[in-house]
Amino acid sequence: MSGYDRHAYEPFAVTVDLAVFTLRAGVLHGLLVERGEEPYAGRWALPGGFVRPDESAETAARRELAEETGLTDVSGLHLEQLRTYSEPGRDPRMRVVSVAFTALLPDAPEARGGGDAAQARWIPYGSARALAFDHDRILADARERVGAKLEYSCLATAFCPPEFTLGELRQVYEAVWGTPLDRPNFRRKVLATPGFVEPVPGAARLTGGRGKPAALYRAGPAAALHPPLLRTPREGRPA
């Protein structure tokens, strides 16, 4: 903060923007709200809002998340800072610096357009284009970050309910990465990672759809995956 005591400073508006993801029927969805006013009236945008004077960005993000999803308890949800977007001109009205967050939800309560948004809705990722402001880019950055974190962290369980099958966990990876994974290999890898998942002791089995019932698991205490679960490297980079 060398310029701290010498230069005059200009005030900025500070907002949070939320890239909220969930899985519905094995497809990655993002939460979007329809704007009611100019600029970008009628366009879809990420939920978010101003940071209040007594809040940190994290606190504001969690408050907005609760307002927008209609969930009464968002304390256990995964919420993580993505990055801050501060280009001049990203908001046509004034100078706005926005701290973007990524949130992951296990199930998808139908979004009630809480707060002040006209309406909120879960949209399959990729089917919404031309969002307001620079929200297309924020959403893409968030998805990329989530995909990368699946490789070396236990983040995937944040998409799952408290008890889940390994098939559901695999669907998280497949939906976010957009690649099918080998079932037996995925199973072996997950079970070999200490602390990733732990079996639910009771003779617990679940019948969701067709095939053989699957054993239930809970998220384990581990936060990181050692060694990581890597996406197939697209191609070797040529020298």
Partner DNA sequence: CCCTTTTATAGTCAACCTGACTGTAAAAGG
Partner DNA sequence: CCTTTTACAGTCAGGTTGACTATAAAAGGG
How many CB atoms neighbour CB 19 within 10 A?
26
Site string for DNA, 179-218 (x = CB under 7 A): ---xxxx-xxx--x--------------x-xxxxxxx---
- The answer to whether the beta carbons of residues 69 and 20 sit under 8 Å apart is yes
H/E element, 172:
helix 166-177
Q: Which amino acid is at 214?
A: A
Say which entry of DNA, a second copy, none residue 212 contacts (CB below 5 to 8 A, set by partner kind).
Answer: DNA
Q: Which one, 145 or 187, has the nearer CB to DNA? A: 187
CA angle in degrees (0–180, nearest 5) for 24-205-217: 65
From a second copy, DNA, none, interface partner of 222 (C-beta below 5 to 8 A by class): a second copy
End-to-end CA distance of the chain: 42
Q: Which does 136 bind (CB under 5 to 8 A by kind): DNA, a second copy, none?
A: none
- Interacting residue with a second copy among 19, 29, 48, 216 (CB under 8 A): 48
Nearest distance from C-beta of residue 24 to a second copy, angstroms: 22
- Whole-number minimum distance, CB 170 to DNA, in Å? 7
| Bridge partners, 123 (sequence order) | 30
| Cα 65 to chain centroid, rounded | 11
Distance CA 18, CA 99 (A): 9
CB atoms within 10 A of CB 233: 7
**How many chain residues touch a second copy (CB under 8 A)?**
67
- Can you read off the two tokens belonging to residue 182? 């080998």
Positions in the binding site for DNA (CB under 7 A): 165-168, 170, 182-185, 187-189, 192, 207, 209-215, 227, 229-230, 232
Positions in the binding site for a second copy (CB under 8 A): 1-7, 9-15, 17, 33, 35-37, 45-58, 64, 67-68, 81, 83-84, 86-88, 95, 97-99, 115-117, 132-133, 152, 194-195, 198, 220-222, 226-228, 230, 233, 236-239
